[in-house]
Amino acid sequence: AQTVTQSQPEMSVQEAETVTLSCTYDTSESDYYLFWYKQPPSRQMILVIRQEAYKQQNATENRFSVNFQKAAKSFSLKISDSQLGDAAMYFCAFPSGYALNFGKGTSLLVTP
């Protein structure tokens, strides 16, 4: 079974600082994608960034980047220049069958 583990239930970062959210996963597949989703309070979940396992280069989307360590099965999300609007639940997700297998999430608090 494919599992996704997020070991940080809560994280806090000051505005303009950088924070890293961790995620580990377990799979026997060699070709796959990994995703980070953001769920703001009372708003719908949106895709933040995705990484293809075959690509050695870490994905980057503006202030969001990943540190993908395939051998270690680690997929962390780095948020640079944190903004108040980044406050949300962040979920790491891995495709399992036709759907996504989500971690338990990390609640990110951004302080002024």
Residues of the shown chain interacting with other proteins in the complex, contacts defined by CB under 8 A: 4, 9, 31-33, 35, 42-47, 50, 52, 91, 93, 95-105
The pair of three-digit structure tokens given for residue 21, joined into one six-digit string:
């959210």
41 CB neighbour count, 10 Å cutoff:
8
Q: Minimum distance from CB of 59 to other proteins (Å)? A: 12
Q: Minimum distance from CB of 108 to other proteins (Å)? A: 14
Q: Please, which residue, 72 or 99, has the CB nearer to other proteins?
A: 99
Whole-angstrom CA distances from 110 to 10, 26, 59, 65, 80 are 11, 30, 23, 18, 12
Q: Please, which residue, 50 or 78, has the CB nearer to other proteins?
A: 50
